[in-house]
């Protein structure tokens, strides 16, 4: 990027629309412009920074490593501009919280927590990203999120622990027994914590299995289990009338424990991220699933809940 070039806010907004939808037509609809205008904005932005931000094929759009970095920069630039304009226009200054949540937490009681947060902090706008733990950690690393609530892998000590639970084998609500032959597994197509836990446990027990259904979307996996495609290893957050624990007498191996945590983008939470983390800790018993061990706030020094280890 040459010294006399600047990053146009309009171009950055179009880029973020594409990064969120991964679809030029959807981004154009979001921005209220034509698809060709979105393409022009992306081309001009790539020329300005001298880097390819998107990998485009006839079937899909993906962020390049440079594009993932630009997401964080663009959000910070736009947020700073909105803060400045809000200040000089007068009135109540609004702030924004870029929050990432694991999919299984969204289908639990977390929406109730957000509703309470909105009532207590009406001037905080929440930009919510829902995804796999790996995706959320990646977005946090490039500065695209302020706070994530998700699982962490064994040995990872980052974040504020909320609760610890043992993953469960879950099947459809009319689950009876597994048929003879390899165990049918419903799995994430990506390298997820629950996928690794299920496969590792079955292999260690020398039990044959096969992937009967795979998807990168938790909602699709839940639908597959309800439809009888197989079983999966997931959090107790998903237990319902349609998704039930597999009986112990089936003989499946014990799954590992996982911690659900909050991880911030900086060493110390502040602003809206601190406010939400405090609210979550105060109401953790209503968020964690039955049978889990609450570990939020245990044996912490004063204000330790806001000191973030991001090694």
Which pLDDT score is estimated for 93? 56
What integer best gives the mean pLDDT of the chain? Answer: 84
Q: Of 94, 66, 32, 60, which Cα lies nearest the Cα of 216?
A: 60
pLDDT at 184 over 80: yes
CA dihedral 150, 217, 190, 141 (to 10 degrees): -40
Residue 128 DSSP class: E
Confidence of residue 86 (pLDDT cuts 50, 70, 90): low
Mean pLDDT, rounded, for 187-204: 91
pLDDT tens-place string over residues 275-290: 888 888 888 888 888 8
Q: What is the pLDDT of residues 112-129, one digit of tens each?
A: 888 888 888 888 889 899
Tokens of 251: 């003989």
- Tell me the mean pLDDT in the region 226-238: 93
* Mean local confidence (pLDDT), 181-197: 90
d(C-alpha 140, C-alpha 120), whole Å: 25
Q: What is the pLDDT of residue 91?
A: 52
Residues 133, 148: Cα–Cα separation, whole Å: 9
Strands (E), the chain: 54-56, 61-63, 95-102, 124-131, 147-152, 160-166, 168-172, 183-188, 209-215, 232-234, 243-245, 257-264, 293-294
């Amino acid at each position: 990027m040459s010294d006399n070039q600047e990053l146009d806010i309009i171009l950055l907004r179009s880029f973020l629309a594409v990064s969120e939808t991964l679809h030029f037509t959807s981004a154009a609809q979001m921005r209220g412009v034509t698809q060709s205008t979105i393409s022009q904005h992306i081309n001009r932005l790539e020329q300005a920074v001298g880097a390819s931000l998107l990998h485009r094929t006839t079937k899909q759009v993906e962020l390049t490593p440079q594009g993932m970095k630009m997401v964080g920069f663009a959000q910070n630039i736009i947020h700073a501009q909105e803060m400045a304009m809000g200040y000089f226009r007068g009135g109540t200054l609004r702030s924004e919280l870029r929050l990432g949540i694991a999919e299984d937490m969204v289908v639990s009681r977390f929406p109730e927590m957000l509703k309470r947060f909105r009532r207590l902090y009406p001037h905080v706008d929440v930009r919510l990203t829902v995804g796999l733990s790996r995706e959320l950690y990646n977005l946090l690393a490039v500065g695209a999120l302020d706070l994530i609530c998700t699982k962490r892998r064994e040995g990872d000590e980052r974040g504020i622990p909320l609760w610890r639970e043992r993953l469960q084998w879950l099947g459809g609500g009319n689950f009876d027994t597994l048929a003879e032959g390899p165990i049918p597994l419903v799995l994430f197509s990506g390298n997820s914590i629950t996928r690794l836990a299920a496969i590792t446990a079955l292999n260690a027990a020398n039990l044959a299995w096969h992937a009967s259904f795979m998807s990168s979307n938790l909602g699709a996996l839940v639908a597959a289990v309800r439809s009888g495609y197989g079983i999966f290893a997931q959090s107790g957050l998903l237990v319902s009338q349609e998704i039930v624990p597999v009986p112990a007498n089936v003989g499946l191996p014990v799954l590992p424990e996982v911690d659900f945590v909050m991880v911030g983008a900086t060493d110390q939470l502040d602003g809206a991220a601190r406010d939400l983390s405090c609210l979550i800790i105060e109401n953790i018993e209503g968020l964690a699933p039955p049978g889990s061990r609450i570990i939020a706030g245990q044996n912490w020094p004063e204000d330790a809940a806001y000191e973030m280890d991001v090694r």
